[in-house]
Structure formats: C-alpha cells, structure tokens
Amino acid sequence: MKVTEAMRARSSIRAFKPDNVDRKLLMEIFEEAARTPSWANSQPWEVFVADGEPLKRILAEYAKNYENKLTGAPERARPTGWPEDIQRRQGGIGAAMTPEIKESFSQFGILNQTMFGAPSVIFLCMDKALTEWSMYDVGAYSQSVMLLATERGLSTIPAVTAVLFPEVLHRELNIPEHFHVVIGIAIGYADETNTINKLRTLRDPAADVVRFVD
C-alpha cells in the first residue's frame, strides 16, 4: 500500500469488532513508527497499550465516573476556544452525513464513552517537563501508528474521551506520575455492519490553506 493509498483509506472508525489484535502485530507497527522524526532525535513518545483485563477495568472505572456525572479532564489542556474557520470545518461534519448515518449517530455517545468497543487502546504519553514542541512529535508518531495500522488492515480512531480520567490510566497501566497522558488511539478491526462507520468527513481544498509567496 502506498502512502497516498493509506491516507485515503484511513478514517476514524467509531465501532469495532471484539476480535483481539495480536500483540506481535502491534509491535510490528510500533517498530516501524519509531522511524517518526523528532526534535534532535528526542523520541518523546511513551506508549502504553491496554487490552484484555486491564482495558476491562479501565472501562469499568470510566463507566462509574460517567454514572456519577463526572466529566473528567485530559492532562494536557483543552483549547479555550476555536477560531471561526475551524468552527466552520467542525460544523461541516453534519453535511457529510446521510440520513442513514445520522440515525446511527444516536449510539455515538455510548460508543465514545466505551472507547468504541475497541479490543485495544494505545495511550501515548510524554514527560511533563516537555513542551508543545514535543507534542508536535507525539502527534507525528500517532499519525505514523495510524497509517501503519491501515496498511495492516486495522482501523483506528484518536479520541480525547479515552484520556478524560488520567488517574485511572496511571493506576491501571502503571504510568509514572512524571508522564502526561496525551491521547488515546482505539485500534482493532472495523465493524463494517455498523452504519456509523460509513461517515467520511469533508476536507477543505489545499488551496484554501496553502500559501506560496513570490
């Protein structure tokens, strides 16, 4: 699969089959993703994978928090606001929905809260001492992981909801306190029978955001 093909094939999958992902396959992905560039070869990403019983415990703790009306918060701050152009793009998600997809989105809330039923979730972390420069590197690493997963027939979705209760993740995954949990990436095999996975969001033309200066 060419890079362009992987870019076009990858999409955010919101419902997964329960089939487990072989850890050897995941390690193949991580070995290749290690080639991601980083500032001064710092390689700031720290990777923790939850599957099996640990993931079940995490989901149970999250469910309790949701039942108690806790909203949680990621360890890296959310945006305080979205510029107008970005709000327009976010609003365009609705335009990409057919009536069938809109109907299936009634389940989005529960899927979001249960990490989309994925059999494995990758949690990317970085040292608290690091800044936004290293966040860039972690973001590049996450894209590498998702494209490599696509090449191997796996599906993914990065989601802030996966990291809303970092205290649970630190405890269950033995994540050191000097690490911040940055993002969670659900990974597994897409449930092709679920209409919610047919959504393909729109992209602005490159000419709208790319500037050449003569």
What are residue 209's phi and psi, to 5 degrees? Answer: -125, -10
- Residue 214 belongs to a domain: no
Domain assignment present for residue 25? The answer is yes
Any domain includes 120: yes
Local structure of residue 76 (DSSP, 8 states): S
pTM for this prediction: 0.94
In a domain, 70, yes or no: yes
pLDDT at 73: 94
Supply the pLDDT for residue 78. 86
212 falls within a domain? no
Residue type present at position 213: V
Tally the domains of the chain.
1
Closest CA to 33 of 57, 49, 16: 49
Which of 200, 202, 208, 181 lies closest to 50, judged by CA?
Answer: 181
Has residue 50 been placed in a domain? Answer: yes
Adjacency order of strands within the sheet including 155-159:
46-51, 120-127, 179-188, 155-159
CA distance 130 to 135: 8
pLDDT in tens, the chain (214 residues): 899 999 999 999 999 999 999 999 999 999 999 999 999 999 999 999 999 999 999 999 999 999 999 999 999 888 889 899 888 888 877 777 788 888 888 898 899 999 999 999 999 999 999 999 999 999 999 999 999 999 999 999 999 999 999 999 999 999 999 999 999 999 999 999 999 998 888 889 999 999 999 9
C-alpha dist (Å) from residue 101 to 89, 156, 161, 195: 18, 19, 21, 6
The Cα–Cα gap between 125 and 127 comes to: 7
Note the pLDDT of residue 99.
85
CATH (domain of 50) = 3.40.109.10
Q: Which domain holds residue 128?
A: 3-77+90-200
83 in any annotated domain: no
207 lies in some domain: no
